[in-house]
Structure 1
Amino acid sequence: MGGPVHEWDEDPVLAAGCVLWRRSPAGGELGICLVHRPKYDDWSHPKGKLKRGEDALAGAVREVGEETGHRCAPGPRLTTLHYLANGRPKRVSYWAAEATGGRFVPNREVDRVVWLPPAEARERLTQARDRELVDELVAVLRHV
């Protein structure tokens, strides 16, 4: 009765997020926003599950606002990551997004945010797959 069933054959959990960035007003240095989630004690890019029927880009922008308190202007689409989370396949669509204002207020889901230069952001990120998004953002911004 068909081949083996793999966990990737299930419907994936759909999520979206942004690699949120801004330039320093003084020297123009690039800063990347990372969020700390106390539930997992990890550092990541702002992201979250999509609501039923929600467009991925709309969900990414919503998650940035909910997790960082910042508004953003989404830019180029970045890599979509595929991985297992709690035994289920997960698909996370990412965009580069420039922060356009706002203020972080700690909440239950995210207790801290930091703005770091790319090299420091790569070091702080918990998951290796998230580090590749930093490199991709830097490459994309070179051509904008």
Structure 2
Amino acid sequence: MSKSAGLLMYRRAPHGCLQVLLAHPGGPYWRGKDAGAWTIPKGEYVAPEEPLAAALREWGEETGFDASPPFMPLGEVAQKSGKRVSAWAFAGDCDPGAMRCNTFEIEWPPRSGRMQSFPEIDRLAWFGLDEARQRIHAAQAAFLDRLERAL
């Protein structure tokens, strides 16, 4: 069973509404998918790496932004694939258009023999909680609920 860890940045919009920063996965499999496709910036880790250390590493690799404590634990969820995802929330602000993300390579199109590079995430966006619940991966919606209760 694989494990991932990630961070959920949140802020209060000028009108007081709570907003969260979500990531849209990059690559050809996610092109054109929206509802249920967005995620917290996260990535896999293996022991002995600590989950929060992995979340901080992945945040930097996938967004190019800094993350500042305190980090609020949001617990763990299990996705349908069996992957376990742990998350922490933190207050912050950033311009999604300034994102810098690492890339991965896959053979594309399949069985073409040609390797292509794609960003791990192709865009970031701020969403109010109601809209975020429509866009985020179903299992990860629990992180939004936990953040809302905690604040």
The TM-score with structure 2 as length reference comes to 0.71
Deviations 1:31-65 (A, max 9, x none): 20110112341211111111552111011112122
**SS of aligned partner of 1:54:** coil
Richer in strand (by share) = 1
Q: Which residue of 1 aligns with 2:11?
A: 22
Query: 1:137–1:112: structure 2 CA closer, same or farther, 3 Å change rule?
Result: same
After superposition, where does 1:1-144 map in structure 2 within 5 Å? 12-24=1-13, 26-39=14-27, 40-41=29-30, 42-50=37-45, 53-74=48-69, 75-85=71-81, 89-99=82-92, 103-105=98-100, 107=102, 108-125=119-136, 127-141=137-151
Preserved CA contact (<8 Å) 2:77 2:142: no
Q: Which residue of 1 aligns with 2:111?
A: none
Preserved CA contact (<8 Å) 2:9 2:90: yes
* 1:134, distance to aligned residue in structure 2 (A): 0.8
Q: Which runs of 5+ in 2 are unaligned?
A: 31-36, 103-118
Preserved CA contact (<8 Å) 1:17 1:46: yes
RMSD: 2.2
Q: Which runs of 5+ in 1 are unaligned?
A: 1-11
The TM-score with structure 1 as length reference comes to 0.74
Identity of aligned residues (%): 36
* 1:101, distance to aligned residue in structure 2 (A): 5.3
